[in-house]
Amino acid sequence: MHLADSEKVASLPETQQVAAKRPQLHFTPQKNWINDPNGLFFDGTQYHLYFQHNPYGVGHGYMSWGHAVSTDLVNWTELPIAILHGDVADIFSGSIVVDHGNASGLGDGKVPPVIALYTAAAKDDTNQSQAIAYSLDGGSTFTKYERNPVLDRGSKNFRDPKVFRYESAQGSYWVMVAVEAIERRVLFYRSENLIDWTELSSFGPQAATGGIWECPDLFQLPISGTEELKWVLIVSLNPGGVAGGSGTQYFVGEFDGTTFTPDQNHDAWDSFAYDSLSQGDWLDWGRDFYAGVSFHGMSVHRQILIAWMSNWDYARELPHDGWRGSMSAARQLDLVAAMDGKFEIRQHFLGLPATGTMPPQTVSGEDRIELGSPTLLELTVAGNSSEQSVLSLHRSDDSLISEIRIDSALLQHHRTAGKVEHDLYASTQRMPLPSGLDELRVRVLLDHGSIEILAADGRCSLTDQLAGEAAPAYGTLRLAEGKNATFSVLPLAVKTLEVNA
């Protein structure tokens, strides 16, 4: 018998109905705690998502790598834990590469080894060093390398190795970026075999340094409409993010195989000494987009990034339902030239499963929009007024979940406390918009528990959890006088509900 999803939900016992409010377009673990995405790689058929995971509870601890796979970046199947914490060290964040040439010698001559490079974080906090584990079954099960660690600086805060293949006319080799977190420095290393590493250079402190630096990534992106590529260095920091707490900044520049040189050099500033809205390049302006990294195994013309959709300010204290934490939607990235000669990252949602579009409607004044769940809302607002347009999102009992306010210079997202008691949760996030736009196009992805806003065709991104909320039942769009807008609502197909007994 085939039941519609809504019928399946209605027929479940009450405790399981709560579980059915899980995000449907975002990865969540079946149970327990998750934070950063780790080891993202594409094997030609499947996308692999590993993640910081506590196998035993909803708090951060016993860090191990969980594992899930997907063919569309939306529907994920969770697999058994890939790398389990040890007695003396936890398995902190890191990356995966496929060693096609078996330069590591860890292959069996039949399949290329899949190599995870992670931080072995001593449980007594005395050391963080880089270690490897290898898989001979395509990334399902891993063996820790017997001569770990492979890179030890005797540091307590050296972590989050992201490895990629550097290819140039002068040769090709593996490059690792990792952080000395407290020093606000990204370190670059080189290796021929993924085991022996030589230091190349370092970058930072620069720009936002109001918190420790974590989870760096370095990759090339195409400049839209050209054949050109530029290098981008991603640096997560916590606290000191633009919206408070955890945040992600980026630097556009060049990497010559040894040194990363940003197009603009910045002084280092901390979060109290600068106007965060006019300085810094932020990958996202919301509260919940952290530790984002790209997939290994993709072409530079298809760089895809996923972030942890939470913030260390309150992640440990959010309400939970047996699982705590989720990933952001996958975003494809490229670069666009901004008016001031700088390059900006642009983001696009990927793989959203549409079930049909309501024809675009033109509104002026005030209108009610039925949403349903989950939904992609597309809004095009004429950009000719400094007065605000307001989109408010409501529960079915009419109470307010959150509100987006848009004027020609700024998009703000205000979220109410809802079910969350934490002091730092209810908040208003601000995101400057590019000037001189004739019209502003905004895409709003609503799922259970989150809102992701891509404005100005993806040049501006704002991601906030709506913790514990079912996706809004309806929205109200109120436009400034003289303005008009079109909107369309795209209901998105939900995956088959997976409910654990």
Site for ligand FRU in 150-169 (CB under 6 A): 159-160
Binders of ligand FRU in range 168-207 (CB under 6 A): none
- Active-site positions? 36
Give me the count of residues in the chain: 501
Task: Between 24 and 148, name the residue whose CB sits nearer to ligand FRU.
Answer: 148
> Based on CB atoms, which residue is closest to ligand FRU, 93 or 129?
93
Q: Which is nearer to ligand FRU, 262 or 292 (CB)?
A: 292
Give the β-pairing of 400-406 and 460-465.
Answer: unpaired
Taking the least distance from each CB to ligand FRU, the nearer of 247 and 434 is 247
Rounded distance between C-alpha atoms, residue 378 and residue 281, angstroms: 25
Which of 41, 290 has the CB closer to ligand FRU?
290
CA distance 134 to 136: 7
3-state SS assignment for residue 129? strand
User: Nearest distance from residue 36's CB to ligand FRU, in Å?
Assistant: 5
Total site size for ligand FRU, rule CB under 6 A: 12
Contact 160, 216 (CB under 8 A): yes
Where are the extended beta strands (E) located within 260-365? 260-262, 268-269, 290-294, 303-308, 323-324, 331-337, 343-349, 361-363
Closest CA to 81 of 107, 51, 110: 51
Site mask for ligand FRU (CB under 6 A), range 333-372, x = bound? ----------------------------------------
Q: Which is nearer to ligand FRU, 86 or 432 (CB)?
A: 86
Smallest separation, CB 260 to ligand FRU (Å): 19
Closest CA to 233 of 178, 158, 174, 159: 178
Least distance (Å) from ligand FRU to the CB of residue 322? 20
Three-point CA angle 282, 419, 49, nearest 5°: 50
Query: Is position 32 an interface residue for ligand FRU (rule: CB under 6 A)?
Result: no
Q: How far is the CB of 286 from ligand FRU (least distance, A)?
A: 16
Q: Which of 68, 69, 106, 215 binds ligand FRU (CB under 6 A)?
A: 215
Among 24, 32, 95, 119, binds ligand FRU (CB under 6 A): 119
Are 192 and 175 spatial neighbours (Cβ–Cβ below 8 Å)?
A: no
Cα distance between residue 46 and residue 330, in whole Å: 14
d(CA 440, CA 474): 22
Q: Is 313 near ligand FRU (CB under 6 A)?
A: no
Distance CA 363, CA 389 (A): 12
Q: How far is the CB of 159 from ligand FRU (least distance, A)?
A: 5
Site for ligand FRU in 269-308 (CB under 6 A): 291
Instruction: Tell which positions 63-102 bind ligand FRU, by CB under 6 A.
Output: 63, 92-93
List all residues 6 or more positions away from 298 whose beta carbon is below 8 Å from its beta carbon: 42, 304
**Tokens 């700024």 sit at which residue?**
410
Query: Contact with ligand FRU (CB under 6 A): which of 24, 28, 32, 35?
Result: 35
Window 47-66: residues binding ligand FRU (CB under 6 A) = 52, 63
Task: Kindly state whether residue 214 participates in binding ligand FRU, applying the rule CB under 6 A.
Answer: yes
The answer to whether the CB of 25 falls within 8 A of the CB of 309 is: no
Name the DSSP class of 296.
B
Given 19, 25, 36, 282, the residue binding ligand FRU (CB under 6 A): 36
DSSP letter string, 25-63: SS---SSEEEEEEEEEEE-SS-EEEEEEE-TT-SSS-S-
| Contacts with ligand FRU, residue ranges (CB under 6 A) | 35-36, 52, 63, 92-93, 119, 159-160, 214-215, 291
